[in-house]
Amino acid sequence: MSLRFEDDFLKKLEYLHVVSKRAFAGQNRADRLAPKRGRGLEFADHRQYAAGDDFRHIDWKAYQRLNRLLLRLFDEEQDLPIYLFIDASRSMAETAKFDQARRIAAALTYVGLAHLDRITILPFAATLGDETNPGRGKGRIFRVFEQLERLDSTGPTDLRQAFSSFASRGRQRGLAVVISDFLDPKGFEPGLKILAALGHDVFVVHVASASDRDPGVFGEARFVDAETGDVRDVDVTPALAAAYREAWQTHASELEHFCGRYNLGFVRADAEAPFEDIILQTFRKGRFLA
Amino acid sequence: MSFLAMPAWQAWLLVAAVGAFAAWLFFRKVRPPRIDVPSLLLWRRVFDQARAVTWWEKVRRAVSLVATVLVAILLALAVARPAPRVNATGRGRLLVVLDSSTSMSAKTSDGRTRWQHAVAMARRLMSSTSGGDVSLATTGEGLIEGPTSDTALLESALDRVTVVGGADVPWPRVTGTDAVHFITDGARERPLDASVVMHSVFEAAPNVAVTAMAVRPATSADGGGEAYLEVANYSTTPQSVRITLTRGTDSLFDQSVDMGAGEAARQVVPLAATGDARLRAHVSAKQDALEDDDDAVAWIASAQPLAVTVVTHQPAPLAGLLRHALGVTPTFVTPAAYQPVREGVVIFDRWLPAEAPSVPALCLAPPAAAWLGRVGAVEHTPRWSHAGTHDVLAGLDPMTVDVARAYAYDGDGITAIARSDQGTPLIAVVDRADRRLVIVTFGLSDSNLVFAAAFPVLVGNSLEWLGRPASGDPRGPGLVALPASTSKVTGPDNRTIALARAGNASYARLTAGGFYDVEAGGSHQTLAINPGTPETSNLTRTTLANAAAGPADNPPAGRPWWLYLAGVALVLVTIEWWTWQRRITV
């Protein structure tokens, strides 16, 4: 699969930027407002001069008017740490679903790179895989493309194990984007709770395919779990198929409600939906891109 | 074709085995197609949920199992062809004999014939043997099928047999038979063993019939003879009977006669010397249960005299004899003027053509010829003291014949029928499909035959045997013995009748009334077959002691069970398939 985007689409992506509900301290100067006052260009506030402050920031006009030494404060603009978690388990092996997930990751990476954000791509399955730090600047996107193309789906899903592993690495807080089908036998809640508890601004991208929603199978069938290899012989009747569709709706609703309850961003990306529509419309409606 | 004919215990074993196999197949898990799914997480949730189970879901599996086993058993039963037991004939070898005389074609009050009732009764008897051997026979044809337990063969035989009429063949004997059942209407009395179980299909029915028809020959050369006709009204009430008599296309007699119950009318109609040789009689009445005996035929032999070509240098002796003979049209030619003839009989007097004649021939002291054979040793003054039994020698007194010289002939198919005391053939015949000859081994000039009383007898017998291979007198249907040289018998509907050869004769079974053409060695003869007789046409009487109940006690067997079983199985399979495909019950 080729992840290369058209130039027109890349230009459209450059006009977007990733929205974070909170401001996080970055490491490098960029164009994203940091929580602390610093050496930016935008005036932010005054404060009382204290010994040791830089004389150059004293507002002399205010001293003439108020006869008080006030120090001018400016907003600090830094980069945003963005952690892109991409589900590379066997449940994502379905071509349309995994491709959609990788395209979304690539697009978000490009948006971040265009705004000098600090992107970290973290594939995961039962545990966290090798992470990728493309660096800064739009030009690094092609390296990201290559790495995502080489990404393979294998192993079972374990969100809790993967995000626990991430927590142990002691990362700077930032925006955590989780792209997954969230078909974790142990449940998606523990893993997402870990990410939220670490203080990250968590954004959930639920990738789902048509076969996830409706198996489209009728009659006797032997279902084989792609992740665990478990086998189950099922006689798929209309009633059973309806029950499955209902179970999937419940699963999707539970994920969405969980995100709402814990103030996590949520977007559902259908594998069969046009990719550009997801990025330019769905993500913007979800207030993840602006 | 037959298959899977089996006794009852094997059939039930098959049913049990097939049912068990179907149940085993039902419970056997068929490996379904493998489908990889991203996760069984949601499927497990579905199965863990306590779903509401419908009444249909509860009983469906049981219903499916029952339907599956039932379908298998029904198909097995259809193959085994079961049938209801109607008579307690028990197990063992069974012989079923059907009366195939003409009266069995009579219609009964339900519109079916006695024969159809008899066949239905035979089917029930055969099906009641519980797998034992059954033999099937008719009075006219003898043993038809069996002994066998193959119901397909027996059914096929029952479909094949028909009413043949005529005299009975010898009563069939089947070794090891435990019970003999005879299904008859009792029209003809038959002396049978007391152990034979009689089944009556008799039901009194009114009938009119031509019970006798014949042509009496003319007593003078210019006369045509007369037709004799006998018509009977076998009814309990008087009725008007229309009688018609036609000769060819000419109507000789057409009249309605009021006939009393049981009355027989006799009619003599004079015949012209010339005209068609085919004489037909027909009767019709309102109450007439049997059609076969409504028609009768007779052949007027004098209307078609035998053409006799005499090839001789000295025609006087034969001319004196043949010119005054009735039913013969002689023609005399010298050997030099001889041309091959196409019909009739040819007489060669001390001369033979190079090619064999295509018609029968009487050869008087013939020379050697390639197609006849060699002339052998000569016996002087042979003594002829014993007349043979051949038709050619019937009524001939050999003691009146003095022979000066007789020659022995050696040729293919030549059979001596009269020999001298020293063994020299005096009269010989050739009776083959392509050639019929009578050979007199001595010449007219070498004997006193011309002046002996045996001369007209010998010549008359020879011409009759050569020119008319079978008697043209009317006779009843049945097995007819014909000359061994018979090559073809053609029925009234131009259908060729099968011939069976045994010994020095050929046999043909002539079942329907009408004219039959017999062809033998280049000669043709017409046979008249009439089914009507006072014995078989009187449908109001029976020789059976207790036949009052009639065939109404034997309802028709209808279609065999296997058809219904197969039909039910098909319906069940269709319902099961449809409900499963449509998931109606799940």
Helix (H, G, I), strand (E, B) or coil at A95: helix
Low-confidence winner among B91-105, B209-223, B551-565 (lowest mean pLDDT) = B551-565
Residue B159: Cβ within 10 Å count: 9
A84, A108 Cβ separation under 8 angstroms: yes
Dig out the tokens for B77 from the structure: 């039963």
Contacts of B31 in chain A (CB under 8 A): 222
Longest dimension (CA), chain B: 127
For the beta sheet containing B264-270, the strands, ordered from the edge strand earlier in sequence to the opposite edge, are: B207-216, B226-234, B264-270
A106-123 mean pLDDT:
88
A184 touches chain B (CB under 8 A): yes
Query: pLDDT tens for residues B255-296?
Result: 888 888 888 888 888 888 788 888 899 998 888 888 888 899
- The domain made up of A7-23+79-285 has a fold known as Rossmann fold (3.40.50)
A46-53 mean pLDDT:
85
Q: Is the pLDDT of residue B550 over 70?
A: no
Instruction: Indicate if the alpha-carbon torsion angle A167, A172, A173, A174 is positive or negative.
Output: negative
- Which residue in the set A157, A212, A233 is minimally distant from B32, CB to CB? A233
B52 touches chain A (CB under 8 A): no
For the beta sheet containing A118-124, the strands, ordered from the edge strand earlier in sequence to the opposite edge, are: A118-124, A81-87, A175-180, A201-208, A265-270
| Calpha distance B351→A263 (Å, rounded) | 137
pLDDT of residue B374: 85
Query: pLDDT tens for residues B494-535?
Result: 889 888 888 778 888 887 888 888 888 778 888 888 888 887
Q: pTM of the predicted model, to two decimals?
A: 0.52
Output the CATH code of domain B306-453.
3.40.50.880
Chain-chain contact of A211 with B37 (C-beta, under 8 angstroms)? yes
Contacts of B40 in chain A (CB under 8 A): 223, 225, 228, 230, 232
pLDDT of residue A25: 62
Q: Is the pLDDT of residue B459 over 50?
A: yes
State the helix-helix crossing angle for A189-197 and A238-261, rounded to 10 degrees: 10
Residues of chain A with CATH 3.40.50.410: 7-23+79-285
Predicted-assembly ipTM surpassing the 0.85 threshold: no
Contacts of A219 in chain B (CB under 8 A): 32
B559 touches chain A (CB under 8 A): no
| Calpha distance B13→B76 (Å, rounded) | 10
Which of the four pLDDT bands, split at 50, 70 and 90, describes residue A123? very high
The average confidence (pLDDT) of chain B is 82
pLDDT of residue B33: 83
Q: Where are the beta strands (DSSP E) in B445-555?
A: 478-483, 486-490, 496-497, 499-502, 505-510, 514-520, 523-529
Query: pLDDT tens for residues A254-290?
Result: 999 999 999 899 999 998 888 888 888 888 887 777 7
CA distances (Å), origin B135, targets B94, B172, B179: 6, 10, 10
Query: pLDDT tens for residues A4-38?
Result: 788 888 888 888 877 777 666 666 665 665 666 56
DSSP 8-state class, residue A216: -
Q: Could you write out the DSSP letters of every residue in A157-192?
A: --HHHHHHHHHTT-PPP-EEEEEE----TT-SHHHH
A206 touches chain B (CB under 8 A): no
| Calpha distance A198→A83 (Å, rounded) | 13
pLDDT of residue B2: 42
B436, B466 Cβ separation under 8 angstroms: yes
- State in words which class domain B94-204+541-559 has: alpha beta
B437, B361 Cβ separation under 8 angstroms: yes
Query: pLDDT tens for residues B338-392?
Result: 898 888 899 999 899 988 888 999 999 898 888 888 888 888 888 888 877 888 8
Q: Is the pLDDT of residue B583 over 70?
A: no
State the helix-helix crossing angle for A95-114 and A7-14, rounded to 10 degrees: 50
Q: Percentage of chain B surpassing pLDDT 90?
A: 5
